[in-house]
C-alpha cells in the first residue's frame, strides 16, 4: 500500500511540482555560476576567448596592486555601510516594534516595502542632484551661510547611496525580529530592576540577534555588490570591485579576468555569510 | 506596565520620521523634479512643465524599451509564478531527502549580487547563443522572480488546513482534481500577488538587463544609459512613470496578499 502510494507519487504528480525549479535553477542559475568560475581559467587570444585551464588570469589579478586596493575599499565600504545601517536602523526598528500600534507598524512596513520597488537608479539620480555642489542641499545650507560642502564624489556620497539601498530592508528585518520578542521577558527585566538601556542590551539585542545579524548580512551583500552608488555618488576613485567587473567586461573584452574578480567576490560573500550565520545561531 | 517616558517615545518617533524622510526624499524629489523646468534643479524651483514627459513621449527609443520591458515582465512573471507555485507546493506537502538542498537551490538567487549574476549569465547565454535576445532577459528575470513567488505562495499555503487536501482525497477526488478544485483556488490571491510582485521585480532590474539585453534595451537600461551621459531630468519623467507602474503592481499585490481566507461554502 505504502509502496504503491510511493510509486504513484514518483511517476507524475510529485515530480510535476518538484522538477520545474530544479531544472530551471540548474540550467539558468547554477550553470551560469559554474561556467563563470570555469571561465576564470580560460584564455583570451586576439580578442577571442579560448576554453582552457590556465591560472594566468588568477595570477594577473592577484599581482595587480589596483585589485587589492579595490578589494580593500569594497570590503571596507560595505562593512562601514553595514555598521552604519545597523546602528541607524536600530532606534527606528525599536520604535516600530515596541512604541507603535500593530496597525501603525503594518503601515510602516508597507511603506518600507515601497522603496524596494522604486528604481534604485532614479533614486540615485535624485541624490546626485540633491548632493551636488550647486544642488538643493547646498542651496539650503547656503541660506544659513554654510557651505558649499562637497558631498558628491566622496565616501559620504557612496554611504548615502548604500543606505538608500539597504536601510528599508534592514529596518524591516530588525522590526520583525524585535516585534516577535515576548513582551513579558522585557517586563520581567524591568521588574528585576533593569533600566531601559539595560533591557535593550541584555534582553532585546540577544533575543533579536538572528534578525539583527541577518539584516546586517543582507546590508553587506547588497553594498558589496552595488556598483551604482560608488560610481555615481562616490566618484569611483578608486573603483570598487563591481565597477572593476563592469570595466573589465564592457571595455576590455577580458571576461575571464572579470570572472576571477566575480569569483573572489562570491567566495568573500560566502565566508562572510557563513561567519554571520555562525554568530547568529551559536549557543549563548 | 513598562515605564514609558513620554519624552523618549517622542524622540524615538521624531527619529523614525527623519528616517522615513531620508528614505522617501529621493523618491519624492524625483517626482517633483520631473515637473520642474530647470535642467539642473536647485532652489528656488523653476516653473511647472510637462517638457520632460513630452521629450520622453516623443522618443521612440523609450517606447521600444517600454515594449521590451512589458514583454519581459509579463513572460518572466508568469514563468516565475509557475515555478514558484510548484516549489511552494512541494515544500508545503512533501518531505524528502535533500529537501534543504532543494530549498536552498530555490531560494538562493537573491543572495548573489546582481553584478555577479549578470556576468555569469552573459557568459552562459553567449555560450548558449541567446545573449542579446529577449529570451535571455526573460530567463534571467524568471530566475530572480521565482524565489519571491515561492515565498509569497508558501506563506499563503501555510494558512491552509492540511486536512483540507486529505479530506478531498477521502471524498474520492484524485490528486489532480484536488489541486484544481481545492489548492489552486485557495492559493489564487497569492498567485495574483506573486504575478504582480515578480512583474515589478523584472520591471526594475537593471544590472543583468544591461549585460544580457544587447539591443533589446529595457526601461531601466535606458535610464542607466541616460545616467551615464549628462544630467538629464528625462530620467525623472521615465522614473516617475516606472514608479507609478511598479507601485500599482505592488499595491495590487499587497491587497491580494492581505485578503482573508476565502469562505469555502
β-strand pairing of A43-45 with A48-50: antiparallel
Q: Look at residue A37 and tell me if it is in a domain.
A: no
Burial class (CB in 10 A: 0-12, 13-18, 19+), A271: exposed
Q: A115, A123 in Cβ contact below 8 A?
A: yes
Q: Do A178 and A204 touch, CB atoms closer than 8 A?
A: yes
- CA nearest B23: which of A44, A198, A123? A123
Please, are residues A33 and A242 in contact by the beta-carbon 8 Å criterion? Answer: no
pLDDT, tens digit (0-9, with 9 covering 90-100), for B21-79: 999 999 998 888 888 887 777 777 778 888 888 888 888 888 999 999 999 999 999 99
Give CA–CA dist A94/A108, Å, rounded.
13
Does A191 contact chain B (CB < 8 Å)? no
pLDDT digits 0-9 by tens, B237-253? 888 888 888 888 888 88
Q: What is the pLDDT of residue B115?
A: 96
Q: Is the predicted pLDDT of residue B97 greater than 80, yes or no?
A: yes
Q: In degrees rounded to 5, what are phi and psi of residue B36? A: -100, 140
What integer pLDDT is reported at residue A144 of this predicted model? 86
Residue B209 lies in a domain: yes
Question: pLDDT at position B242, please?
Answer: 84
> Per-residue pLDDT for B121 more than 80?
yes
The answer to whether B166 contacts chain A (CB < 8 Å) is no
Question: How confident is the model at residue A135, as a pLDDT?
Answer: 81
**CATH number of the domain that residue B117 is part of:** 1.10.3720.10
The secondary structure element, H or E, covering residue A35 is: helix A31-39
Phi, psi of B133 (to 5 degrees): -90, 160
- Top residue of B120, B125, B258 to mutate, by most chain A CBs within 10 Å, is B120
The Cβ of residue A199 has, within 10 Å, a number of other Cβ atoms equal to: 20
Q: Which three cell numbers stand for residue A174?
A: 530588525
Report the candidate in A202, A211, A201 with the shortest Cα–Cα distance to residue A180.
A211
B160 is a domain residue:
yes
Inspect the interface and report whether the beta carbons of B42 and A135 lie closer than 8 Å: yes
Residue B72: partners with Cβ closer than 8 Å, 6 or more residues away: B134, B137, B138, B141, B202, B218
Q: Which residues of A touch B238 (CB under 8 A)?
A: 122
pLDDT, tens digit, for every residue of B132-171?
Answer: 899 999 999 999 999 999 999 999 998 888 888 888 888 8
The CATH number that applies at residue A264 is 1.10.3720.10
Taking the Cβ of residue A17 and every Cβ of chain B, the question of whether any pair is shorter than 8 Å is answered with yes
A24 part of a folded domain: no
Flag whether A53 is in a domain: no
Cβ(A120)–Cβ(A228) under 8 Å? yes
pLDDT at residue number A191: 83
Question: pLDDT at position B214, please?
Answer: 83
Task: Give the model's pLDDT for residue A11.
Answer: 57
Q: Which residues of A touch B111 (CB under 8 A)?
A: 221, 269, 273
List CB contacts (< 8 A) between B42 and chain A.
Answer: 134-136, 139
Give the residue from A184, A161, A142, A148 showing the smallest Cα distance to A240: A161
> Which of A17, A130, A232 is nearest residue B90 as measured by Cβ atoms?
A17
Q: Stretch B114-138: mean pLDDT, rounded?
A: 94
Nearest CA in chain B to A34: B120
* Domain of residue B213, residue span: 60-257
Radius of gyration of chain A, Cα coordinates, nearest whole angstrom: 24
- Whether residues B23 and A30 touch (CB distance < 8 A) is answered with no
Q: Residues of B numbered 13-72 whose beta carbons fall under 8 angstroms of chain A's beta carbons: which are they? A: 13, 15-16, 19-20, 22-27, 29-30, 33, 40-43
Q: How many domains does chain A have?
A: 1
Q: Which of A261, A74, A60, A238 is nearest to B119 (CA)?
A: A261
If residue B111 lies in a helix (H) or strand (E), which one and from where to where? none
Give A-chain residues touching B21 at CB under 8 angstroms: none
Whether residue A7 lies inside any domain: the answer is no
> DSSP secondary structure string, B25-45?
HHHHHHHHHHTB--SS--SSP
Which of A17, A115, A245 is facing B86, going by the closest CB pair? A17
* B29 assigned to some structural domain: no
Locate the chain B residue with the closest alpha carbon to A90.
Answer: B16
CA distance A76 to A70: 10
Is residue B262, in this structure, part of any structural domain at all? no
**Distance (Å, rounded) from C-alpha A142 to C-alpha A133?**
11
Hey, of B22, B35, B116, B257, which one would you mutate to test binding to chain A, going by the most A CBs within 10 A of its CB? Answer: B116
Would you state the cell numbers that stand for residue B153, as one nine-digit string? 505562495
Return residues 161-190 of A near B (CB < 8 Å): 163-164, 167-168, 171, 186-187, 190
The answer to whether residue A87 neighbours chain B at the CB level (below 8 Å) is no
Chain A interface includes B83 (CB < 8 A): yes
User: Residue A124 and residue B19: Cβ atoms within 8 Å?
Assistant: no
Contacts A–B by Cβ distance under 8 A: 244
- Residue A28 is nearest to which of B5, B143, B247, comparing CB atoms? B143
> What's the rounded Cα separation, in Å, for the pair B213 and B134?
7
Which three cell numbers, joined as nine digits, stand for A260? Answer: 576571477
What is the domain count for chain B? 1
Residue B192 inside a domain? The answer is yes
Within a domain: A17: no
| Strand blocks (E) in B156-205 | none
Single out the residue of B125, B142, B236 nearest to residue B194, CA to CA: B142
Question: Which of B2, B42, B86 is nearest residue A139 as measured by Cβ atoms?
Answer: B42
pLDDT in tens, chain A (284 residues): 566 666 555 657 888 899 999 999 999 999 999 999 999 999 888 778 888 888 998 998 999 889 999 999 999 999 999 999 999 999 999 999 988 888 999 889 988 988 887 889 989 999 998 998 888 888 888 888 887 888 888 999 999 999 999 999 999 999 999 988 888 888 888 888 877 788 888 888 888 899 999 999 999 999 999 999 999 999 887 899 999 999 999 876 789 999 999 999 999 999 999 999 999 888 65
Q: Which residues contact A48 (CB under 8 A, 6 or more apart)?
A: none
Instruction: Look at residue A213 and tell me if it is in a domain.
Output: yes
Please report the beta strands in chain A, taking only residues with DSSP state E, as ranges in sequence order. 43-45, 48-50
DSSP B260: P
| Model confidence pLDDT, tens digit, residues B183-234 | 999 999 999 999 999 998 998 899 999 999 888 899 999 999 888 887 778 8
Say if A261 falls within a structural domain.
yes
Residue A205 placed within a domain: yes
Q: Name every chain A residue with its beta carbon within 8 A of the beta carbon of B231.
A: 128-129
Q: Which helix (H) or strand (E) holds A59?
A: helix A56-63
Q: Say how far apart CA B123 and CA B212 lie, in whole Å.
A: 9
All residues of chain B having their beta carbon less than 8 Å from the beta carbon of residue A198 are: none
Nearest 10 degrees: CA dihedral of A22, A24, A29, A30?
Answer: 40
Q: Pick the residue of A122, A131, A187, A277 with the most B CBs within 10 A to test the interface with B by mutation.
A: A122
B148 occurs within a structural domain: yes
Q: Please give the residue range of the domain that contains residue A127.
A: 64-281
Rounded mean pLDDT, B173-182:
88
- Contact: A95, B106; criterion CB under 8 Å: no
Identify whether B251 is part of a domain: yes
What pLDDT score was predicted for residue B263? 46
Amino acid at each position: 500500500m505504502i509502496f504503491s502510494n510511493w510509486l504513484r507519487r514518483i511517476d507524475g504528480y510529485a515530480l510535476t511540482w518538484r522538477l520545474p525549479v530544479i531544472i530551471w535553477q540548474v540550467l539558468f542559475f547554477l550553470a551560469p555560476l559554474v561556467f563563470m568560475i570555469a571561465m576564470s581559467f580560460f584564455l583570451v587570444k586576439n580578442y577571442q576567448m579560448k576554453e582552457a585551464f590556465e591560472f594566468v588570469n588568477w595570477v594577473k589579478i592577484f599581482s595587480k596592486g589596483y585589485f587589492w586596493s579595490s578589494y580593500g575599499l569594497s570590503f571596507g565600504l560595505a562593512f562601514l555601510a553595514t555598521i552604519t545601517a545597523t546602528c541607524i536602523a536600530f532606534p527606528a526598528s525599536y520604535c516600530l516594534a515596541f512604541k507603535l500600534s500593530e496597525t501603525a507598524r503594518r503601515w510602516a512596513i508597507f511603506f518600507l516595502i515601497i522603496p524596494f520597488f522604486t528604481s534604485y537608479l532614479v533614486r540615485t539620480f535624485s541624490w546626485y542632484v540633491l548632493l551636488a555642489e550647486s544642488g538643493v542641499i547646498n542651496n539650503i545650507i547656503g541660506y544659513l551661510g554654510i557651505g558649499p560642502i562637497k558631498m558628491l564624489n566622496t565616501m559620504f556620497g557612496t554611504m548615502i547611496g548604500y543606505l538608500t539601498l539597504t536601510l528599508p530592508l534592514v529596518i524591516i528585518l530588525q522590526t520583525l525580529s524585535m516585534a516577535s520578542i515576548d513582551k513579558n521577558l522585557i517586563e520581567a527585566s524591568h521588574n528585576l530592576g533593569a533600566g531601559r538601556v539595560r533591557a535593550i542590551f541584555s534582553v532585546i539585542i540577544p533575543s533579536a540577534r538572528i534578525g539583527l545579524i541577518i539584516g546586517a548580512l543582507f546590508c553587506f551583500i547588497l553594498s558589496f555588490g552595488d556598483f551604482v552608488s560608488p560610481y555615481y555618488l562616490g566618484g569611483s576613485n578608486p573603483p570598487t570591485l563591481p565597477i572593476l567587473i563592469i570595466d573589465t567586461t564592457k571595455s576590455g573584452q577580458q571576461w575571464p579576468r572579470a570572472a576571477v574578480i566575480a569569483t573572489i567576490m562570491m567566495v568573500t560573500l560566502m565566508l562572510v555569510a557563513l561567519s554571520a550565520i555562525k554568530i547568529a545561531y551559536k549557543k549563548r | 506596565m513598562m515605564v514609558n517616558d513620554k519624552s523618549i517615545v517622542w524622540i524615538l518617533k521624531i527619529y523614525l520620521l527623519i528616517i522615513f524622510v531620508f528614505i522617501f526624499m529621493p523618491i519624492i524629489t524625483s517626482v517633483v523634479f520631473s515637473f520642474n523646468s530647470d535642467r539642473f534643479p536647485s532652489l528656488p524651483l523653476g516653473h511647472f512643465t510637462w517638457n520632460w514627459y513630452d521629450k520622453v513621449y516623443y522618443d521612440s527609443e523609450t517606447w521600444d524599451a517600454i515594449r521590451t520591458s512589458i514583454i519581459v515582465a509579463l513572460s518572466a512573471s508568469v514563468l516565475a509564478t509557475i515555478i514558484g507555485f510548484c516549489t511552494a507546493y512541494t515544500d508545503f506537502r512533501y518531505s524528502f531527502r535533500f529537501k534543504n538542498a532543494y530549498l536552498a537551490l530555490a531560494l538562493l538567487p537573491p543572495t548573489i549580487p546582481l553584478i555577479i549574476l549578470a556576468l555569469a549569465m552573459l557568459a552562459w547565454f553567449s555560450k548558449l547563443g541567446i545573449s542579446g535576445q529577449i529570451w535571455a532577459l526573460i530567463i534571467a528575470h524568471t530566475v530572480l522572480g521565482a524565489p519571491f513567488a515561492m515565498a509569497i505562495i508558501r506563506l499563503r499555503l501555510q494558512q491552509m488546513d492540511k486536512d483540507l487536501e486529505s479530506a478531498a482525497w477521502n471524498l474520492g477526488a484524485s490528486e489532480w482534481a484536488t489541486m484544481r478544485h481545492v489548492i489552486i483556488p485557495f492559493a489564487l490571491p497569492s498567485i495574483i500577488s506573486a504575478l504582480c510582485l515578480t512583474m515589478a521585480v523584472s520591471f526594475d532590474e537593471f544590472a543583468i538587463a544591461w549585460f544580457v539585453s544587447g539591443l533589446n534595451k529595457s526601461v531601466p537600461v535606458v535610464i542607466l544609459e541616460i545616467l551615464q551621459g549628462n544630467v538629464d531630468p528625462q530620467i525623472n519623467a521615465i522614473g516617475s512613470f516606472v514608479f507609478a507602474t511598479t507601485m500599482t503592481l505592488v499595491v495590487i499585490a499587497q491587497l491580494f496578499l492581505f485578503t482573508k481566507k476565502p469562505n469555502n461554502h
